[in-house]
A and B are shown apart, each in its own frame.
Chain A
């Protein structure tokens, strides 16, 4: 039989190409051991199965028969066979045990019995133990099965001719027979010893396997070496040497895990886990269980996976000596929402929903769950983790978890890591999963998606408040101020507007605030959302009245998304009396006088965390600006005073009555009631235009210069105004029901007495001749007239000195150049002064002038005025200078 075995070595090729001799010996050794009944000792592992299933049984011409008196041995062998059971695996993992034989030994042995015919073989099939027949039928050499088939076909199949002389051998009998045959043929005592008992066999087997493994490792066939290490581990395990078993199993698992051959790993890892559990290596056991769960779910049944999970959970809740973090990156994965990223405004919190996929076979309770977000551009995870609600249960598959996000800094954020706790152990998962079915070729399962899930906008304007009108409002009257409140892509729900009036401005809190929806002129009548408009179809906007308290207005809900106009009544106070202007006293009109400041603050936002502040300036003005001028002055001292009313507002002013209280030094003529000359009321003044009113006054006598200087005239104007509050000044808000619409405006005017106060008039009388010639006498005449009585005038004497001024180079004065004149004191009295002069040069020359040196210039009126230049012709030709020849 040994010869046959040696022949086998040459003929059959083995699983490894350049197998070392030792391994081939191992295999044959194992085959022999199986032959004699030690098959139960041989672990049914892939390598053994693969190796042994190829190694066929010896094929002697006839199978050795059972020696006589071996029934005890047969019984013993039977017992061994019956007691054999597959090693129970941890977690109740059931696997079909791999075959270790190429074909049934029972059949093979009995086939070689000479006295059995073919027909009986079919009976044998039915009674054979099913350990190897079905499973390895593919692996067995084609030859044997085909042989079997042909024999079955060709041979007679009837049963009556096949009565055996002897019955077929049972398995135990085959083993005993083989053992005896071997004992007779094997000469080597060592070899014999190793086959003498299962324990001996095992130790020899271990020795040989170790040798083979070392060889492989030395030849860098690490996979083969590691696989044999696995075999050795199984033997260690069997003998309770769990520490060494675990070490060897770890090597195998490490190789398979590193190279990613999950099916192979699934076979060995439970063994490692078992060792770790026995050795109370909690961390290792936990890691192994997690790894088992992480493998492809098709490799284990759901019951087995549930067993893994329950172990993990049990350990997580127990008091581990050295708690370790769980690596569940492939079991708990997450993905963001496929929708566009959540957009928040700066400073606003929000909620983010994330899909979390659980690869656990059962529901699993997480004691806590937190999500980290990292800013898109920077690599560090700058944010604190965001916690979701505590203690949630993840179901297998997809879970949607919402996280409350506190206000964040502006930027784009992507999903970072998911952390949490299962029991007392923390875990961290970086795993991203594809949310939904994968059906695309472009999907890279390990690529980190960089799609942002959260965008926090940079701080931007969320609302704008501007004044509704830009033109001036009436001073000292209760006017509406409008504010346009415009939300910019943000809801103002629950917003509160604080209005703080500055100095000299008072908000009338007894009145209600009006809020109406606003449409600027640029907007056309696009269909308005029905929810924002009152039921009246003709109404362009909605108006609501709300109270104001301590300067606070609560915005109604309908106003949160639309632009609204907020009207509130204020009164600007100015106690100073305005002054009119005249040519003599021009006044600078300062715009600052009429400006009033209002501080606005709007608190809004989902959590009242947004604040908008603005200070607006509002202009106030008097309805009129008044200027005066003297239109004409009559000789009797009557003055025509024109009072011009300039409208300062963009509204129509209706002047109902005007009266003028004159200052000291002036008095009215006519009716004397201070009203203008003609009755032209009511006078309508269009916006920004002017109207004039005429008064007839005259100077009244008074000697008190101080009083004259400080007195002011007061103009009273009763008027009404019709304007639109959206444009500018308008009719004041009636506070009490019986407030009249008639308004009173007072303005002070300063009239100045005329500077010029002539009491004498000096007039030039025309020349008697048309032309003046050089050397020709000419009479120059002046007339002096009294304009006022001597008492009124400020002259003391009734004799007036006169003087003629002439350029001596141009004129020769024949006569008196100066002298005194005296004439009647009564107003209107006249006197003529005549002086004869001779022009000396021709051309345009200044004529002689008459002056009154003692009288101030202010008191002289040149009327009629004298010529400025006179034309002097050259002398006539003089014949007296011609000399006769």
Chain B
């Protein structure tokens, strides 16, 4: 299990619709803030890369210290972004795929479902 991981889903018009700290370490406020900032800045990188490749899983698009930003782009240009400190690529890929198949989603709106939240955390524990 990654000690630090911040997971954000960004819709195709660049609005974050879901975010969660899924690391096992206790959450620190300023860190969380920095994570948001890093992921936001990484969007620029993603937008370049996403058009350059047809793959869905863009591995590590950016790095911050030991934290890596990995991104998974869906067909509808929704981006799953994960800031994490582990190195298991397969684990991350499976995590993204499971999230992708989770149907609790209504296009355009923020995801407020507690079920989804629970599922994400369970998947994070499983794969990360």
Which residues in A have some Cβ–Cβ distance to B below 8 Å?
Answer: 13, 15-17, 46-47, 49-50, 53-54, 96, 98, 135, 138-139, 141-142, 216, 220-224, 227, 256, 258-261, 263-264, 267, 438-439, 441, 443-446
Contacts and interface: CB of A to CB of B under 8 A. Distances in A.
B90 interface: no
Nearest to A102: B65
A16 B16 contact: no
Contacts, number: 88
B37 A50 contact: yes
Contacts of B41: 15-16, 47, 223-224, 227
Nearest to A439: B114
A47 B64 CA distance: 12
B62 A264 contact: no
B110 interface: yes
Contacts of A17: 45, 61-63
A46 B62 contact: no
Contacts of A15: 38, 41, 62-64
B37 A264 contact: yes
Nearest to A12: B65
Contact of A261 (B32, B40, B48, B113): B40
B30 A96 contact: yes
Interface in B33-84: 33-34, 36-38, 40-41, 43-45, 47-48, 61-66
Interface in B19-35: 25, 28-34
A386 B61 CA distance: 56
Contacts of B16: 259-261
A141 B43 CA distance: 25
B122 interface: no
Interface in B76-112: 104, 106, 108-110, 112
16 contacts: A15-B62, A16-B62, A46-B34, A98-B34, A135-B30, A138-B28, A138-B31, A141-B66, A216-B44, A221-B44, A221-B45, A223-B43, A227-B41, A263-B36, A264-B33, A446-B109
A47 B37 CA distance: 8
Given A223-B40, A223-B43, A261-B16, A445 B109 contact: yes
- Which residue among B29, B31, B37, B63 has the maximum number of chain A CB atoms within 10 Å of its CB? B37
Interface of B: 4, 14-16, 25, 28-34, 36-38, 40-41, 43-45, 47-48, 61-66, 104, 106, 108-110, 112-115
B116 to A, nearest CB: 8
B33 A222 contact: no
Contacts of A443: 112
B61 to A, nearest CB: 7
A267 B63 CA distance: 23
A267 to B, nearest CB: 7
A142 B65 CA distance: 10
B33 A444 contact: no
Given A15-B64, A17-B45, A54-B64, A264 B113 contact: no
Nearest to A51: B64
A260 B19 CA distance: 12
A222 B44 contact: yes
A98 B37 CA distance: 13
A224 B40 CA distance: 9
A54 B106 CA distance: 39
A390 B43 CA distance: 49
Given A135-B30, A139-B65, A264 B36 contact: yes
Contacts of B34: 46, 49-50, 98
A223 B30 contact: no
A46 B61 CA distance: 20
Contacts of B15: 259-260
Nearest to B45: A17
Contact of B40 (A216, A259, A446): A259
Contacts of A444: 106, 109
A583 to B, nearest CB: 93
B14 A224 contact: no
B88 to A, nearest CB: 18
B109 A441 contact: no
The interface centre, meaning the residue of A50, A135, A223, A439 with most chain B CB atoms within 10 A of its CB, is A223
Contact of B112 (A222, A256, A258, A445): A445
Contact of B64 (A50, A142, A222, A261): A50
B38 A50 contact: yes
